[in-house]
Chains A and B, each alone.
Chain A
Amino acid sequence: MLRYTIKRLVLGVLTVWFIATATFFGMHAVPGDPLSSDKSTTAQIRANLEAKYGLDKPLLTQYAIYLKNISQGDFGISFTQENRQVNDIIKEHFPISAILGILAIVFAALGGILWGALTALYRNRWPDSVIMFLVILGISVPSFVIAAISQLFLVNINALAGTTILPVGGWGTVWHMIVPAMVLGLSTMAYLTRLMRSSMLEIVNTDYVRTAQSKGLPKTRIFSRHQLRNAILPVVTVLGPAIAGITTGGFVVEIVFAIPGLGRYFVEAIQQLDYTVIMGTTVFYGAFLVFMVILVDLLYGWIDPRVRISP
Chain B
Amino acid sequence: MTKPLLRVQDLHVEFATHGGTVHAVRGVSFDVKAGETLAIVGESGCGKSVTVQSLMGLIPMPPGQITKGSAELMGHDILSSKFIDGQDIRGSKVSMIFQDPMTSLNPTMNIGSQIAETLEVHRGYSRRKAFNRAIELLELTKIPEAEKRAKQYPFEFSGGMLQRAMIAMAIACEPTMLIADEPTTALDVTIQAQILDLLKDLQQETDMAIVLITHDLGVVARMADEVLVMYAGQVVEKGPVDDIFYRSAHPYTLGLRGAMPSNDPQNNQQLTAIDGSPPDLFSPPKGCGYHPRCPNAMVLCNQRAPVIESLSEQHWSRCWLHHADSEQRPQGLYFRPSAAQPNRTPEQKGTSQ
Interface residues of A (CB under 8 A from B): 206-208, 210-218, 221, 225-226, 229-230, 233, 303-306, 309
Contacts and interface: CB of A to CB of B under 8 A. Distances in A.
A216 B91 contact: yes
Nearest to A219: B85
B90 A306 contact: no
A213 B58 contact: yes
B98 interface: yes
Interface of chain B: mostly helix, strand, loop or mixed = loop
17 contacts: A207-B100, A208-B103, A210-B58, A212-B106, A213-B58, A214-B56, A215-B121, A217-B87, A221-B117, A229-B108, A230-B107, A230-B108, A304-B107, A304-B108, A305-B108, A305-B110, A305-B153
B108 A216 contact: no
Interface in B95-136: 95-96, 98, 100, 103-110, 117-118, 121-122
Interface in B148-202: 153, 155-156, 166, 169
Contact of B121 (A206, A214, A217, A226): A217
Contacts of A212: 106
A76 B86 CA distance: 68
A12 B56 CA distance: 51
A206 B108 CA distance: 13
Contact of B98 (A207, A225, A233): A207
Q: Give the top 10 A-B pairs by smallest Cβ distance, nearest first.
A: A216-B91, A216-B90, A215-B91, A216-B87, A207-B103, A207-B104, A305-B153, A214-B96, A208-B106, A211-B104
B117 A225 contact: yes
B121 A216 contact: yes
B278 interface: no
Nearest to A215: B91
A218 B87 contact: yes
Given A206-B103, A208-B104, A211-B105, A218 B121 contact: yes
B38 to A, nearest CB: 18
Interface of B: 56-58, 86-92, 95-96, 98, 100, 103-110, 117-118, 121-122, 153, 155-156, 166, 169
B98 A211 contact: yes
Contacts of A208: 103-107
Contact of A215 (B107, B153, B169): B169
A230 B153 CA distance: 14
B310 to A, nearest CB: 34
Nearest to A211: B104
Contacts of B89: 216
A286 B201 CA distance: 62
Contact of A217 (B58, B88, B91, B104): B91
A214 B106 CA distance: 13
A18 B287 CA distance: 76
A213 B169 CA distance: 13
Given A211-B106, A216-B87, A217-B91, 20 more contacts: A207-B98, A207-B100, A207-B104, A208-B103, A208-B105, A210-B98, A211-B104, A211-B169, A213-B56, A214-B98, A215-B91, A215-B117, A216-B88, A216-B92, A216-B122, A218-B87, A225-B106, A226-B109, A229-B109, A306-B107
Contacts of B155: 305-306
Nearest to B110: A305
A210 B104 contact: yes
Given A207-B98, A210-B58, A226-B109, A216 B118 contact: yes
Nearest to A229: B108
Contact of B106 (A213, A216, A230): A230
Contacts of B58: 210, 213-214
B117 A214 contact: no
B87 A214 contact: no
Given A208-B103, A225-B117, A214 B91 contact: yes
Contacts of A305: 107-108, 110, 153, 155
B90 A214 contact: yes
A216 B169 CA distance: 12
B90 A215 contact: yes
A266 B118 CA distance: 56
B285 to A, nearest CB: 31
